[in-house]
Structure 1
Amino acid sequence: MSQIKYYAPGAPGGGEHGRRRSVLSSALDLRSNELKSAKFEWIDDASARKRLEELPLTSRDRFLIDLLYNTGIRVGEALSLFISDMHFGGGGPDIGCRIVDPHFHVRLDNPVQNRARAKGLARNLFVSRPLVDRYIDYMISREETLGENDSSPHVFVNMRDLSGYAGTAMNYSGVRKLIARCAKLIDFPLTGPHMLRHTFATRLVRGIGVDEVSLDIVQAILGHRHIDSTRIYTHDNENAMRKALVQLQTRHIVLGGSE
């Protein structure tokens, strides 16, 4: 009748440090089932997506937005990344990785310093050259800004000296503030970092601006344990199918004669 549910730090019910609570089993929670069948929020405005892609930001913020937007990882997974996970120059025997192309590892067991939680499945994700360049820009800026004060293994750290927090791991609150700032700058209601993940997945599944990708591949990229979690990104396919079909020329049949 009940199950234990984890509420992440900063999320409704999670408080500052996150907590686990006993809740009604999802199979019996009608409200939960309704939410699962509801349409996911994504950036459905092409011009808003372009504005987000071109938005001038600091090197750290630009890399974080691009990472979420172009790989679909969860914000908890991004905040859990360690520098040692970022094999953007490819792997090699010296680091115990045989993957040649630029990639990074999503791990579930990094000893994080910011209470971030990586869930789903551990996986390896490949990256494009532009994303590699963004990372290099950020790491150069990070070294110049923090210098000897840079000792955190986390990829994303606080860059400004906010009461001694410079160089410490970035947290959920910092990401939410960044997303809120981006929403104002691009004049589009971004509800949170999850919206970038939903946008990424929707574009892949529906082939929006990219080649359409099969559900099983999208499932692997997103780290979903079950394909049903990925099928939600086929939302609004009925409307898309309807629009496609009404564009077809209707055959007019003349009764009692040839067409």
Structure 2
Amino acid sequence: MPSNAMEALARLPPKTKLGKLTIVYPVSTNSSHVIDVNYQGENEIEENFLNLLYKARKKARTQTLISGCLLPLTLAIDVFVVVPLFLFEINLAYFSVQVSGVQKAGLLSDFEKKKTTKHVSDRSSHRRNDEITTYECPEQDERARSPFNFEVAKPGTFDRTIEHLYNICSELDPLKFPLKDSLPMPTYLPSKDIATTLVEIFKESLPQEVMTRHVLDEQLAAEDLDRALRKAAKEYVNSIKGINESNTCAIQEFFARKY
């Protein structure tokens, strides 16, 4: 199956119609539970997001190559095997998701890299001319050129989503993510209230004419959110299996108790 990052990128519009990506992030909490949340700033979020794109793109290139080489084999199996296995259709869908994700990840990361390189070269050229004032791109111009638009969420918007994510991690690895007594009992699906909140954020970030193209059912959104969180949590937990148990994990820091 494609990674969570590739699935998310595959859902974006084609690169010819791809506009700014709005990333909504929390900076504070209204949680009634005794937890202390350490949030990241915009620069850290952007840096981590670009690192995620780079890693996902690098891994997906290898997966795309393997999947592409298997296309003739899966087609031959489906043609000559009497019982339909649909291996070719499955492999083709996987291949398409990977190719689309790689293209969009490359487009976004390359655009940001060119913007950063251009900014550094502009500053260097002005220094070589022995100018007294160093040229700095206005913040508004930089934001206009960036493919990302960062927005601060209202306090408490993502509290229950993060709690649900921690409970998922606790199910996968209770040693690194011990279940907190202060958190609600874990449920298989997130509450529709969580999905409703995220749908409202989605609505606020898009023009009305764009909203008419989307079917926003809270129950389907809740199921899709849970599937995405579980897949992302599993990938993260697998990535830290080699870490010493005494080390503090990044998500654990989100839920350190106040004393």
Q: TM-score range by the shorter chain?
A: under 0.3
**Larger RCO: 1 or 2 (CA < 8 Å, sep 6+):** 2
Higher helix proportion, which one? 2
Higher strand proportion, which one? 1
